[in-house]
Chains A and B, each alone.
Chain A
Amino acid sequence: MAHESHYKPTSRFGKWMDERLPVARLVHGSFVDFPTPRNLNYLWTFGGILSFCLAAQILTGLVLAMHYQPSGAEAFNSVEHIRRDVNYGYMIRNFHAVGASMFFIAVYIHIFRGLYYGSYKAPREVLWILGVLIFLVMMATAFMGYALPWGQMSFWGVTVITNLFSSINELIPGLGTAIVQWLWGGYSVSGTTLNRFFSLHYLLPFVIAGLVILHIWALHVAGQNNPAGLDIRTKADAVPMFPHAIAKDAVGLFAFLLVFAWFAFVMPDYLGHADNYIEADPLVTPPHIVPEWYFLPFYAILRAIPSKLGGVIAMFSAIAILVFVPWLDTSRVRSSKYRPIYKWFFWLFAFTCLALGYLGAMPAEGVYVFWARVFTFYYFAHFLLVMPIVGLIETPHRLPRSIAESVLGPSRGGGITPATAAAAPEKR
């Protein structure tokens, strides 16, 4: 890692271990005296919050799996059994179901934080791409998890989404059907499908955990970005992670837990859909199929495109395009704080995503389709036109000479001379 640990074992055992397996040294270097920019705001606490979410989902999921039956005949009843009979089952189940939503709230804030402050720009491209991969696997995990209670929304959500792959028939006749039947293990969604989804739902969180380790590794090589978008250059720019950043993370986490607890205890079903308390019925489609709220913007994009294959391609592109953001953004400056024009486009993009989320929940007809198309257009235009063009034509505000100056003001800016500072803005 880029940063040398100042770890000094004190006990005899500590010294003995340090020469054999220096785990304590690694932890100390990564989470105790790791230099963090002194200007981090609360948006930087979401990384820690997300790690908490993953751990919480694994722990609560582990408990649910002890009582859950992954078969078409038993699944629905076993979730009811968890809610009614198992000791504290209702609570742990609510933690898990609400936890999935909270996980996505946190990840969306985390992603938009990165977009606003240019955290994807060099040298953090790999860090960013790992993040996109985590997001993708999270979506797969949550999608399969939502199948498990085997209610009407579970069943029909799985039917609609797996059927997306049948659009491949339009390219290579027969291949789409073959893939869909392979996913289903039959000629329609059935208990067989549920069973394999359970197996994968159990596995994928551990894949996420592996990706998170790589993500944090890459973070610790490049160092953290910060609201000023500047690199750490002098000692005055940074503070040790412990206690400073850790304490701030704790405050952020407790605030988050307050919201989490509010949902879990006061309105656990608010974020879900009532139809999922009706057992799956392959002969009755609910009048209005909606995915979980966190998929709605992508669902809106899917439905905005009039062709089936086109809709599927657009939906997957909406996620894949994030991978290319480091190269689509041509600005020399990371933080939108110093980008007078782009800043406004950023908020327009944020609004677009919210609007698509709203439209995804509305029926696909009339004026809703029109607006879904408008916002789908802007969603892609933001990446393909706004990011490259605005970066080239915009004159950024003058950057502070250092992180310390951005916090303390020009007079106490720390040890950088104007000459180096002029050349200082991020190299690409």
Chain B
Amino acid sequence: MASHADDEPTRRDFLVIAGNAFVAVGAAATLWPFVAQMNPDASTQALASTELDLAPIKEGQAITAMWRGKPVFIRNRTKEEIAKAEEVKGDQVPDNSARNDLLPEDTPADDVNRVKEGKTNWLVLVGICTHLGCIPKGQSMGDERGEFGGWFCPCHGSHYDTSGRIRKGPAPRNLEVPPYAFISDTKIKIG
């Protein structure tokens, strides 16, 4: 072993390190498919968009659609609901981000950033509590809507306002606004 000058790396040292490095890279490359197979598969990703006709939804009504296996809340807000949502600015609520998938993370949580221009009566949200994933109440007429008139999550008591922003309770974020667009005056495409 020590035929060479003491600290001088030998040809054998090089081969051992290079050989082990190849084994490590190879092992990681082999392991990866076993980890990655658990990610959403192609058929799940393919279901990624949903089209919807909003015409039948009257003012004050709401419907729940499905998108990527998740409920999506669509509410046709009343004048008062819109006014209440616009009155409270993004820096007055616990989560200051608009959480709008089409806008950057640091967009303020003002109501305008959570709806489409000229269509401010339509509020479209992923109907999953940002705490631990329950479906908040507030879609049906008789439902409890919490202290801020939007939605109320019964699981651990999160209150959302008429813009779907978290106002009280353990949920850390505003309800997410999914990526969607109006493809005609009364039709939207989510995803």
Contact = CB atoms under 8 A, between A and B. Distances in A.
Contacts of A51: none
Interface string A266-301: 000000000000000011110111000000000000
B40 A186 contact: yes
A164 B132 CA distance: 7
A182 B64 contact: no
Contact of A160 (B64, B133, B154): B133
A319 B49 CA distance: 42
A190 B69 contact: yes
Nearest to B172: A308
Given A187-B40, A196-B38, A160 B70 contact: no
A289 B105 CA distance: 31
A22 interface: no
Given A282-B71, A283-B71, A306-B170, A185 B41 contact: yes
Nearest to A170: B172
A288 B157 CA distance: 11
Nearest to A178: B39
A317 B88 CA distance: 39
A66 to B, nearest CB: 26
A162 B132 CA distance: 8
Given A160-B134, A186-B68, A190-B69, A308 B170 contact: yes
Interface in B42-78: 44, 64, 66, 68-71
Interface in B21-37: 35
Interface string B155-172: 111000000000000111
B131 interface: yes
A187 B68 contact: yes
B85 interface: no
A412 to B, nearest CB: 61
Contact of A192 (B44, B64, B66, B131): B44
B44 A186 contact: yes
Contact of B39 (A159, A182, A283): A182
A16 B73 CA distance: 75
A365 interface: yes
Contacts of B64: 283
Contact of B40 (A160, A163, A185, A306): A185
B154 A285 contact: yes
Interface residues of A, number: 33
Interface in B156-191: 156-157, 170-172
A185 B172 contact: no
Nearest to B171: A308
B183 to A, nearest CB: 22
A196 to B, nearest CB: 7
Contacts of A285: 134-135, 154-155
A107 to B, nearest CB: 26
A181 B134 contact: no
B69 A303 contact: no
A313 interface: no
Contact of B135 (A170, A187, A196, A284): A284
B157 A185 contact: no
Contact of B155 (A160, A170, A311): A160
B172 A187 contact: no
Nearest to A305: B170
Given A192-B44, A282-B71, A283-B71, A185 B38 contact: yes
B174 to A, nearest CB: 14
B70 A187 contact: yes
A395 interface: no
Nearest to B105: A173
Contacts of A186: 40, 44, 68-69
Contact of B132 (A163, A181, A183, A190): A163
8 contacts: A163-B133, A173-B105, A182-B39, A185-B38, A185-B39, A188-B69, A282-B70, A283-B71
